[in-house]
Amino acid sequence: MIDYLRPNMSEDLKSMSVLGLAHIGDAVFELMVRTWLCMRGVSTSKRLHNETVSFVSARSQAEAAARILPELNEEELAVFKRGRNAHVNAVPQSSSYEEYHTATGIEALFGYLYLSGETARAGELFEIVVSKSVLQERGR
């Protein structure tokens, strides 16, 4: 049986599209945000939803990239850059072109780490993101 919650696709990742990595990474990052919020005591569905949405926006993910880029190794930086440089068909009006592409890079990186079984590393990077987040600064 395949364990879809703990994949280890290190070899298969070379053939996966960067947008495939970003697709998975979007869900991984959002799940980490949701888990973090619940662990911090956010309990109403409205607040959970609103704070999750604000945290996973392209603008917030671009801010997260600025925090973690200095911490990335060569391989992680290469994945991030592949994601950031990926051709996307549309950019939402709520974000700039640069923010959206940077967010795609972050999502590709988190997708890559998850699919390669490097969840501890994804957790380390996520801790950097939330340690300086707006939510953390508000004492939540």
Q: Which of 18, 24, 25, 26 is catalytic?
A: 26
Interacting residues of 51 by C-beta distance below 8 A, sequence separation 6+:
37, 42, 135, 140
Among this protein's residues, is 26 annotated catalytic?
Answer: yes
CA distances from 5 to 1, 36, 39, 130 (A): 12, 18, 20, 23
Catalytic residues: 26
